[in-house]
Amino acid sequence: MTSRIIAEPLAKALGGSVVVENRSGASGNIGMELAARAKPDGYTIVLNTTPIATNTTFFQKLTYDIQKNFTPVALVGRLPHVLVVHSNFKANTLAKLLAMIRAQPGKLNYASAGTGTNFHLAAELFKDMTNTNVLHVPYRGGGPALTDTLASQVDLSFPSLAAALPHIKSGRLRALGVTTEKRSSLLPEIPSINEVGVLGYDFTSWFAVLAPAGTPREIVLKLNAAINQVTATPSMVERFAREGLEPVATTPEGTGESIQRETSRYAKLIKERGITPD
């Protein structure tokens, strides 16, 4: 979806055409493998999300190396998640929820979109940083997980803010904290989890553009400038907001540093929590 949102304005910024080929599957590895083998001439780039950082740990036999086979181009945007409970749930603040969890460890549960998904990792990071025990209930996708949260079949979940926002606005879900370090501009009245007691908690899904390794520096810089130009326009900021995205402007170096930092962070979390993909 994100690639299709930026494709047309990016084509105009570059003075050419941008064709989106959806090569999803295997947690994004199919598209990454194709891009890794592409000619490094700037005509093939790949947009992917958080699995860029997690797949190195989840999959032992990747056919590509994120550091050796790719050149970072730009971060496009971040997608906050939000800790939600049903509107009738007993706890109406994060402090009260933590008190409930600690009073009955292992009794409360949370829904995720599946093992190893961002829903899951956001919750496991929360559990790790609060030293709490909440039962994981994996679903096959974010839709069913959110549906059962709305039906009060599970106690809590960490959906994307985009998916949860209509239900928060309607009053069916109660937001206890956003997962970004600071409050989200998309839901400014709700505090961040970091702000209300879990110091240092910061989790977002993110979208990055990479090019095959060996792509000339001048081409990488041209792509980076065009992407930053597109995502900064008022119309794109507004469009991103409708999708729950917050635009990010970075240099190629900043993009690479961010990916390395996230890769190390997720590797530590995945190994310590014993997470294996479905």
Residue 183 in any domain: the answer is no
Number of Cβ within a 10 Å radius of residue 175: 20
Are residues 39 and 86 both part of a single domain? no
Residue 233 in any domain: the answer is yes
Residue 99 in any domain: the answer is yes
Q: Give every CB contact of residue 21 below 8 A, 6+ residues apart in sequence.
A: 31
Give residue 28's pLDDT. 79
Are residues 95 and 63 both part of a single domain? no
Q: What's the order of all strands across the beta sheet hosting 156-157?
A: 135-138, 109-112, 156-157, 82-86, 173-178
**Number of domains composing the chain:** 2
The answer to whether 227 and 10 have CB atoms below 8 angstroms apart is: yes
Are residues 103 and 157 both part of a single domain? yes
Are residues 89 and 172 both part of a single domain? yes
Q: Tell me, what DSSP letter sits at residue 69?
A: S
**What CA–CA distance (Å, rounded) separates 139 from 33?**
27
Residue type, 18: V
Residue 104 in any domain: the answer is yes
Give the rounded distance of the alpha carbon of 7 from its chain centre: 20
Closest by CA to 154, choosing from 171, 166, 170, 142, is 142
Are residues 221 and 153 both part of a single domain? no
Which CATH number does the domain housing residue 41 bear?
3.40.190.150
Number of Cβ within a 10 Å radius of residue 108: 20
Residue type, 35: A
Residue 110 in any domain: the answer is yes
**What CA–CA distance (Å, rounded) separates 35 from 29?**
10
Give residue 80's pLDDT. 96
Closest by CA to 120, choosing from 191, 241, 27, 25, is 27
Are residues 40 and 90 both part of a single domain? no
> Which of 133, 163, 178 is where one domain is finished?
178
Give residue 163's pLDDT. 95
Please, which residues bridge with residue 90 across strands? none
Closest by CA to 14, choosing from 268, 204, 226, 249, is 226
Residue 193 in any domain: the answer is no
Give residue 25's pLDDT. 72
Give residue 23's pLDDT. 81
Are residues 64 and 104 both part of a single domain? no
Residue type, 119: F
Give residue 78's pLDDT. 95
Residue 127 in any domain: the answer is yes
Which CATH number does the domain housing residue 135 bear?
3.40.190.10
Are residues 113 and 173 both part of a single domain? yes
Beta-sheet strands, E only, within the chain:
46-48, 70-80, 82-86, 109-112, 135-138, 156-157, 173-178, 204-212, 246-247
Are residues 73 and 96 both part of a single domain? no
Measure the CA angle with vertex 11, ends 10 and 15; round to 5°.
120
Environment class of 97 (CB within 10 Å of its CB; exposed 0-12, middle 13-18, buried 19+): buried
Are residues 11 and 44 both part of a single domain? yes
Give residue 273's pLDDT. 95
**What CA–CA distance (Å, rounded) separates 259 from 228?**
17
Are residues 23 and 67 both part of a single domain? yes
> Which of 178, 195, 223 is where one domain is finished?
178
Tell me which residue range forms the domain holding 37.
Answer: 2-78+205-273
Give residue 250's pLDDT. 97
Q: Is 258 helix (H, G, I), strand (E, B) or coil?
A: helix
Per-block mean pLDDT, blocks of 10 residues, the chain (278 long):
91 94 81 94 95 89 93 97 98 98 98 95 98 97 97 98 96 98 94 96 96 98 98 96 92 97 95 88
Q: Tokens representing 160?
A: 């994307």
Are residues 38 and 123 both part of a single domain? no
Residue 198 in any domain: the answer is no
H or E element: which one contains 9? helix 2-14
